Each structure stands twice: as structure tokens, then as C-alpha cells.
């Protein structure tokens, strides 16, 4: 992508038509509003390779698991967000010739994602077989204000008189490309015409979600030389417009589509609701809807924009990442969560992973009202019973909870044994999110209301998952997979053992605190969960004598037992034609190699950084990073943050660009499957936690800025408890403006300074 993506601070602009990258562009230029979204498929026919995608948040299907052999405890299905009714299909024929960019050579093709206003635009010219040149301009958006609304505007001009037929569809004939058995997930698809409106209704199999879509069209033409005919077909309805277009005359078509789901209304009312919303949009009109869209995005950008002075490539990148995050999740519904691909593709099924807690939560904590981040945590609390069931299926008892690696409704639905049964560190990320939320927001009431029950379930799991080794005379944890998924079924993964100890200690401390501050509420929780004080005794035995693999010669913690038995060849010595290794090596060779997919031990240093001195950070970074291939999208952001911490500015900037432009440059050669939404949240962390060094310690905001040499400044806004702040970082100074909230004491590189309400203060970094 990088060779033809134009660098622009507020836009992603694709110049020229590149058939070999159509699916990549469909991902990059995706649009959404948190409730619905689409890949950037062409409205007109396209006979080339494409992945059609139009998705609704929360509407899923339990696709039957496909495995070579069945193991006890395997999930029976993989939950998938469905490709739903397609509302963007608009076939165009000119004098009988179908406009198909795979069969024609478009001239001056540009595709633009206007991130400032939330618009997808395309413009190009084509010449028909009869020699007529046509200009096409397309604009599409999903409304950030009217959550069920999508709008398309088309303009056509011709160099000579011609007959144009436009066939605009609502189609329920949609499939998921990732269907395990090529199954059609919808049933009872009906379509019809009511007055001037098209409609389609659908219901999912098994889960019984219902949707209704309705479209209205407006034709803008300075003559009445056209006819309109509405009709139905199998699983769809369509509007045919026959237009006699004169030379240099402009034809405009506007399509207003509302898609309503039973997530947000009774099934019996969905069709009427969709009709009403489409009618209202048509009445409001295109110009007003565009103004609404611009105003809504202006409000969002006011809260979350990052301004980088001196590096347009970096500026474009961070805005692209933020834009996709807010297209994916807006936080107004605790039933929803964040899929790794958002609305940009079908890989990973649109389900929830541990990525939300580890990578996305910090972004929403700082850029959105606190109830947005709180909803992400409530999502997990509401699924605690399912997490306990998941643990029971694996043989755990007494309220132990194992949160799923992949889920839609709380049930585990991942079907690879080394993930389903072994990648249990996800429990740690969910527990840490409770700490992270309370530490950042100061909302201590969350612990009593929701948090402690989650921590109890997770701690009970850890307590049962470890056992005492007579040989080592220490507690151990066998048969796990750490964050480095290139290592399966290992013993004593340091990161997993570390998180287990932290969880047990944190839960114990919160129990003691709640017993002291709110004994009545603690008694309620203890009764509900059958908690016994003897559990803490066992936890203390475990945490005081947990085994951690360690190499005294190198003075580093080892990723797991036996790691030093591997041949430690740095990644720099691999030939380029072997990368990425996941595409060139057998799984056997990968498992036996020393190569690390993403931060593992270093992920622990990121979470628990204050437990280790700077020299320890440097030793572990210098040992593990050269062995890391970064073939996970979640890897570069953590390494950028850690590189900043140890003062390796060049590495920090290198990893920032890698994570920030992961999809724009198709670095991992997989953007065709969808964008890496959770990695995008990690990109924001490289700015805030990396270059700004933003931390919250003892209820106070700390900054330790270190911006890249190429940058003149960074500016970004954050919410912190009662305050709304604008932070500006320069080469040797930091400035904080207290836009809203009380007087605030901030620490920068060990120096305290006070920022009064409605005032700003600039101080030197005063680096240690």
C-alpha cells in the first residue's frame, strides 16, 4: 500500500487503481459507527477478487466447530459476527455495458477516507466501448449520530448522450467467507416494496436475531427524463432507474438506508422502525446529514485527537488508528465489545479476545467518559457465570473462573487446544483491567459493586491451576501457552506465573480493604460466592514460593523452562526470504526455534514495570527483543513503550511506525483480512505511555516525556478523573492546560507542578 497511499494529515488517499490490492483497500477504507459498519467494497459491480462485508454489532451465529479430532472440553462452535444485509449494491449500466472496474481501466482513480468528517469517497473516469467518457463520484458514510443509518451519494457525468440504467439493491443473499461449512447463517429472508421504499427482513438461525432494512432513493436531475420501477427478487428488493443522460448533464442519486436489529428493538417493530428512519433521513436531506456527520466527528476529535508536528507520516498514522477505534466501539452498550478486526473483516469472527483489556481499555480510559471504559469491564462481569462454567468444563471447581480466549456471550468458542486450554494468561489481563480502571478513574466503588467477584473467580482458578513440585519444593504451573504463541504446552511460563501471583496478592489486598471499609458489602459477596478465609492462606503459600525460571549468568528471567536449550540465533541473522517465518516454516520448526511472536516476558515488564529497576528493563529488552519476529500485530507497540523507557529512542520510533502503519503499509501481509483494531489501541499507547511517559501512581498523573528527534511537538487531550487536560510535549518542555476540572498536581520527571483551573503551565522536563 505504501507506494501509492498519499501522506495527508486528515485523509487516507489511494491514488491510482491497483487490482492486486483491492481487498487490502477494502479493509483500510472501511467505515463504521460502533453499531454497524462495512468494508469498502465498491457499490458498482466488481468481478475481481473481493471480500464483501456489511456487519452489525452483537448479531452473531454459533458456527459449528471444525476440528480434525474432538477433545473433551472443546467448544462446540466459534461465534461469528455475521455478514448481514448488503445495502450498498448499485449496479450501473451505460448503453447496456455494465460498469465493472475489473473489466475496464479507470482513469484518475482516487479513493479517499476523510477521517475528519467520517466519509468514504471515490472518483474516477471510464471510457465505454462506444467511446463515451463518464465521470463517477461516490460518497458513502454511516452516521455517527443516527446509528442505524447508512447513506450513499452518486454523481455521474457523461461526455455524450447515453442511456443509463441504475439498479440499486437491498440484498439478503449474503454469506460469511469464513463459514466453517459454507453454511448460510440466515433464515426466513423476506423482501418487498412498500410505496417508494425497498425492504428486507432476516432472522439468524439458532440465535434468532432479527434485522430489517429499508432504503429510499432521491434522484436529482434537471430534467424528468427518467423512469423508476421497484421490484423484488429472491432474498432482495431493487429499484431500477432508467435515465436518458445528455452530454455534460449531471445525474445525482442519493440512497438512504436504515438497518435495525433486535439488539435495539422488538422484532415486530423493526420493519416500521427501519421505514421511519429511512424516511426521516430522506426528509432531512444529504446536506444536513453531512453537516451532522461532520459535527459528530468534530466532537469526537476534540476529545481524542493527537497532533504531531514535524512528521506528516506519523500524523496520518495515529489519526487513522484513532479513527478506526471510534468507528468500532463507542461504549454506549455494555453488551458489546471490541473484535480484533472491528467492522473491517471476518477473521477472528468479530469476537472478543484479551486484547480488549490489555490494549483497548487504556485508550478509552483517557479519551472517553469513564462510563465507556466501565462498560468494557461490566461486559466481563456480566459473563462471570459463563467463565465459571468454562472452568467447570475443564475440571475446575468451587467457583473458579476461566474467562474465554474468544467469546461473544461468555462461552469459550476457540477451538485450538493450545489456545483453548493453555493460553490462560488471558485471565490475568481481565483482572489487571479492574486494577487499571480503578487506578486511573479513582472509581473505588467499582470494586465493591462488580470487581471483587471477578477477582475471586480468577484467583480461585489460579489457586487450582498451580501445584506444588516436590522436586523443586516450589509451586509450578505446567502445560501452558504464554503470549508467545510460537511456544505451546510449556512449563512455567514466566509471564503466566507472574500474573497468577499478582492476581492472588491483589485479590487478597482488595478483600482486606473491603472488609475494613464496607464490611456489609463484603459479607454479601462472601455469602454469594461461598468465600472462606482459608482460601487466602493457600494464596499466600503460593505467592510466597512460586517458581520463576531464571538464568543467573545473564541475570534475566527465562520465558519458560528449557528456553536456553534452544539455539539462540538473533532474528537479524535470518534471511529476508524466510520472513515472515509463519508463512515459510513448518510449525514443528517454529516450535523448536527460539523466535518469539510477540512480547512475552517483556509483556510482564510492561504491566509490572515498577517492580523492576531500569537496568533490569534494559537487560531483558536487550536479551528478548533480538529474538522477536513481531509477527503479531500486538508486538511493536509494547516494544516501542519499553524502548522509550530505557532511552532507546531509535527503536521506540521504529516500532511506533511499525504499529502505526501496520495496515496502511500492509506490513504483515494480512490486511486483506481486515485491519488490526486492537493493535491500533496499542498505537495510541505508544504516544501516551511511550513518548509522553504517562502513568498514574498513587492517584497522581506522572509524565516522563521523550519525543522522537524528528518531531517538534506532540499534543493530545486526555480525561483524568475530574479533569480534562491538553498536554503538549516539546523537546525540553511539557505544557499542561487544565481545560476543565479542579486544581491538579502533576509530576514530570520527578518534579511536581500545580495546574490551576482554566490555566496552563509549562515547565522544563528536568530529566533525571
Nearest to 716 by CA among 391, 301, 400: 301
Q: What is the mean pLDDT of residues 535-544?
A: 98
Nearest to 336 by CA among 297, 364, 294: 364
In a domain? residue 511: no
Q: What is the mean pLDDT of residues 415-438?
A: 92
Q: Is 104 helix (H, G, I), strand (E, B) or coil?
A: coil
- Predicted confidence at residue 767, as pLDDT, reads 54
In a domain? residue 259: yes
In this predicted model, what pLDDT tens digit does every residue of 672-699 receive, in sequence order?
A: 998 999 889 999 999 999 999 999 999 9
Rounded Cα distance between 95 and 98, Å, is: 9
- Predicted confidence at residue 73, as pLDDT, reads 74
- Predicted confidence at residue 271, as pLDDT, reads 96
In this predicted model, what pLDDT tens digit does every residue of 439-465 receive, in sequence order?
A: 999 999 999 999 999 999 999 999 999
Q: What is the mean pLDDT of the chain?
A: 93
Rounded Cα distance between 32 and 55, Å, is: 9
Q: Give 120-144 as a DSSP string.
A: EEEEEEEE-TTS-EEEEEEEEEE-S
Report how far apart, in Å, the C-alpha atoms of 10 and of each of 366, 374, 611 are.
Answer: 22, 30, 40
Rounded Cα distance between 767 and 764, Å, is: 8
In a domain? residue 445: no
Output DSSP code: residue 305: -
- Predicted confidence at residue 421, as pLDDT, reads 86
Q: What is the mean pLDDT of residues 198-224?
A: 93
The rounded percent of the chain whose pLDDT value lies above 90 is 82
Give the range among 98-102, 474-478, 703-707 with minimum mean pLDDT.
703-707
In a domain? residue 364: no
- Predicted confidence at residue 182, as pLDDT, reads 84
- Predicted confidence at residue 743, as pLDDT, reads 95
In a domain? residue 399: no
- Predicted confidence at residue 482, as pLDDT, reads 96
Q: What is the mean pLDDT of residues 484-511?
A: 97
Rounded Cα distance between 339 and 576, Å, is: 32
Rounded Cα distance between 177 and 235, Å, is: 18
- Predicted confidence at residue 225, as pLDDT, reads 80
Rounded Cα distance between 147 and 56, Å, is: 11
Q: What is the mean pLDDT of residues 579-587?
A: 92
Nearest to 211 by CA among 227, 244, 235: 235
Candidate ranges 545-559, 669-683, 742-756; pick with highest mean pLDDT: 545-559
In a domain? residue 484: no
- Predicted confidence at residue 69, as pLDDT, reads 67
Q: What is the mean pLDDT of residues 640-651?
A: 95
- Predicted confidence at residue 1, as pLDDT, reads 46
Higher pLDDT, 671 or 480: 480
Q: Do 320 and 6 contact (CB within 8 A), yes or no?
A: no
| CATH code for position 148 | 2.70.98.40
Q: What is the mean pLDDT of residues 244-260?
A: 96
In this predicted model, what pLDDT tens digit does every residue of 482-493 receive, in sequence order?
A: 999 999 999 999
Residue span of the structural domain in which 146 resides: 5-278
The length of the chain in residues reads: 768
Q: Is 481 helix (H, G, I), strand (E, B) or coil?
A: coil
- Predicted confidence at residue 690, as pLDDT, reads 95
Report how far apart, in Å, the C-alpha atoms of 506 and of each of 45, 376, 457, 540, 734 are.
Answer: 57, 20, 13, 11, 34
Question: Is 50 exceeded by the pLDDT of residue 126?
Answer: yes
Question: Is 70 exceeded by the pLDDT of residue 23?
Answer: yes
Give the DSSP H or E segment for 119: strand 119-127
Beta-bridge partners for 12: 113
Which grid cell is 193?
416494496
Question: Is 90 exceeded by the pLDDT of residue 607?
Answer: yes
Q: For residue 407, what are the contacts with CB-CB under 8 A and spacing of at least 6?
A: 79, 351, 352, 383, 386, 413
In this predicted model, what pLDDT tens digit does every residue of 305-349 receive, in sequence order?
A: 999 999 999 999 999 999 999 999 988 888 888 888 888 998 877
Q: Do 686 and 660 contact (CB within 8 A), yes or no?
A: yes
Higher pLDDT, 430 or 412: 430
Kindly name the residue from 357, 422, 485, 487 that is annotated as catalytic.
Answer: 485
Q: Do 261 and 209 contact (CB within 8 A), yes or no?
A: yes
Question: Is 90 exceeded by the pLDDT of residue 261?
Answer: yes
In a domain? residue 439: no
Report how far apart, in Å, the C-alpha atoms of 308 and of each of 10, 314, 645 are.
Answer: 12, 7, 20
In a domain? residue 210: yes
What beta strand segments (E) does 517-675 contain?
Answer: 550-551, 556-557
87-92-202 Cα angle (round to 5) = 20
Rounded Cα distance between 225 and 287, Å, is: 24
Rounded Cα distance between 614 and 609, Å, is: 9
Report the number of distinct structural domains present in the chain.
1
Nearest to 120 by CA among 343, 368, 351, 367: 343
- Predicted confidence at residue 333, as pLDDT, reads 85
Which grid cell is 354?
484479551
Catalytic status, residue 485: yes
Amino acid at each position: 500500500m505504501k507506494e501509492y497511499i498519499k501522506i495527508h494529515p486528515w485523509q487516507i488517499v489511494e491514488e491510482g487503481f491497483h487490482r492486486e490490492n483491492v481487498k487490502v483497500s477494502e479493509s483500510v477504507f472501511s467505515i463504521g459507527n460502533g453499531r454497524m459498519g462495512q468494508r469498502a467494497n465498491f457499490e458498482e459491480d466488481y468481478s475481481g477478487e473481493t471480500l464483501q462485508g456489511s456487519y452489525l454489532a452483537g448479531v452473531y451465529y454459533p458456527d459449528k466447530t471444525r476440528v480434525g479430532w474432538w477433545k473433551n472440553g472443546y467448544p462446540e462452535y466459534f461465534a461469528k459476527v455475521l455478514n448481514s444485509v448488503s445495502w450498498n449494491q448499485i449496479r450501473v449500466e451505460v448503453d447496456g455495458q455494465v460498469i465493472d472496474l475489473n473489466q475496464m481501466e479507470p482513469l484518475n482513480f482516487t479513493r479517499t477516507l476523510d477521517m475528519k468528517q467520517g466519509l468514504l469517497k471515490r472518483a474516477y473516469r471510464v471510457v465505454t466501448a462506444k467511446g463515451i467518457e463518464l465521470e463517477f463520484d461516490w460518497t458513502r458514510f454511516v452516521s455517527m449520530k443516527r446509528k442505524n443509518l447508512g447513506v450513499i451519494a452518486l454523481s455521474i457525468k457523461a461526455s455524450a448522450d447515453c442511456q443509463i440504467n441504475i439498479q440499486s439493491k437491498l440484498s439478503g443473499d449474503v454469506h460469511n467467507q469464513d463459514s466453517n461449512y459454507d453454511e448460510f447463517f440466515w433464515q426466513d429472508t423476506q423482501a418487498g416494496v412498500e410505496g417508494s421504499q425497498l425492504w428486507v427482513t432476516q432472522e439468524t438461525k439458532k440465535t434468532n436475531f432479527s434485522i430489517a432494512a429499508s432504503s429510499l432513493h432521491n434522484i436529482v436531475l434537471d430534467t424528468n427524463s427518467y423512469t423508476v420501477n421497484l421490484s423484488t427478487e429472491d432474498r432482495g428488493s431493487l429499484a431500477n432507474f432508467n435515465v436518458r443522460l445528455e452530454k455534460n448533464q449531471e445525474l445525482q442519486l442519493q440512497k438512504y438506508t436504515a438497518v435495525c436489529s433486535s439488539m435495539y428493538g422488538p422484532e415486530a417493530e423493526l420493519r416500521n422502525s427501519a421505514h421511519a428512519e429511512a424516511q426521516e433521513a430522506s426528509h432531512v436531506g444529504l446536506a444536513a446529514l453531512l453537516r451532522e456527520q461532520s459535527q459528530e466527528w468534530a466532537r469526537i476529535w476534540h476529545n481524542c485527537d493527537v497532533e504531531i508536528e514535524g512528521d506528516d507520516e506519523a500524523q496520518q498514522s495515529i489519526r487513522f488508528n484513532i479513527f478506526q477505534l471510534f468507528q468500532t466501539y463507542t461504549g454506549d452498550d455494555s453488551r458489546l465489545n471490541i473484535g480484533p478486526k472491528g467492522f473491517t473483516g471476518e477473521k477472528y469472527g468479530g469476537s472478543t479476545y484479551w486484547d480488549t483489556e490489555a490494549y483497548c481499555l487504556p485508550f478509552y480510559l483517557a479519551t472517553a467518559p469513564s462510563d465507556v471504559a466501565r462498560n468494557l469491564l461490566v461486559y466481563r462481569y456480566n459473563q462471570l457465570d459463563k467463565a465459571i462454567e468454562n472452568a467447570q468444563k475443564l475440571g475446575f471447581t468451587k467457583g473458579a473462573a476461566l474467562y474465554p480466549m474468544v467469546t461473544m456471550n461468555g462461552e469459550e468458542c476457540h477451538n485450538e487446544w493450545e489456545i483453548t486450554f493453555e493460553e490462560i494468561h488471558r485471565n490475568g489481563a481481565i483482572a489487571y483491567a479492574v486494577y487499571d480502571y480503578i487506578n486511573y478513574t479513582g472509581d473505588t466503588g467499582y470494586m465493591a459493586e462488580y470487581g471483587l467477584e471477578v477477582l475471586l473467580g480468577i484467583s480461585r482458578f489460579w489457586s487450582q491451576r498451580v501445584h506444588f513440585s516436590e522436586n523443586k519444593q516450589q509451586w509450578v504451573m505446567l502445560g501452558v501457552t504464554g503470549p508467545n504463541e510460537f511456544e505451546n504446552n510449556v512449563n512455567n511460563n514466566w509471564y503466566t506465573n507472574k500474573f497468577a501471583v499478582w492476581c492472588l496478592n491483589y485479590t487478597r489486598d482488595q478483600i482486606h480493604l473491603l472488609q475494613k471499609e464496607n464490611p456489609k458489602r463484603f459479607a454479601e459477596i462472601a455469602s454469594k460466592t461461598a468465600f472462606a478465609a482459608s482460601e487466602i492462606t493457600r494464596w499466600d503459600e503460593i505467592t510466597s514460593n512460586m517458581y520463576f525460571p531464571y538464568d543467573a549468568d545473564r541475570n534475566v528471567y527465562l520465558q519458560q523452562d528449557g528456553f536456553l536449550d534452544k539455539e539462540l540465533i538473533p532474528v537479524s541473522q535470518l534471511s529476508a526470504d524466510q520472513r515472515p517465518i509463519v508463512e515459510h516454516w513448518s510449525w514443528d520448526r517454529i516450535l523448536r526455534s527460539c523466535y518469539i511472536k510477540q512480547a512475552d516476558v517483556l509483556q510482564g515488564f510492561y504491566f509490572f514495570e515498577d517492580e523492576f529497576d531500569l537496568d533490569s528493563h534494559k537487560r531483558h529488552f536487550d536479551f528478548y527483543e533480538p529474538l522477536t519476529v513481531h509477527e503479531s500485530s500486538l508486538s511493536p507497540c509494547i516494544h516501542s513503550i519499553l524502548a522509550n523507557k530505557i532511552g532507546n529512542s531509535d527503536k521506540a520510533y521504529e516500532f511506533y511506525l511499525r504499529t502505526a502503519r501496520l495496515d496502511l503499509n500492509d506490513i504483515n501481509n494480512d490486511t486483506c483480512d481486515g485491519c488490526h483494531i486492537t493493535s491500533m489501541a496499542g498505537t495510541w499507547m505508544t504516544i501516551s505511555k511511550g513518548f509522553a511517559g504517562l502513568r498514574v501512581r498513587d492517584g497522581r498523573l506522572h509524565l516522563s516525556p521523550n519525543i522522537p528527534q524528528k518531531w517538534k511537538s506532540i499534543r493530545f487531550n486526555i480525561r483524568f478523573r475530574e479533569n480534562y487536560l491538553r498536554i503538549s510535549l516539546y523537546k525540553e518542555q511539557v505544557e499542561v492546560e487544565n481545560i476543565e476540572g479542579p486544581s491538579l498536581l502533576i509530576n514530570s520527571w520527578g518534579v511536581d507542578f500545580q495546574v490551576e483551573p482554566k490555566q496552563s503551565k509549562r515547565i522544563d522536563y528536568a530529566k533525571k
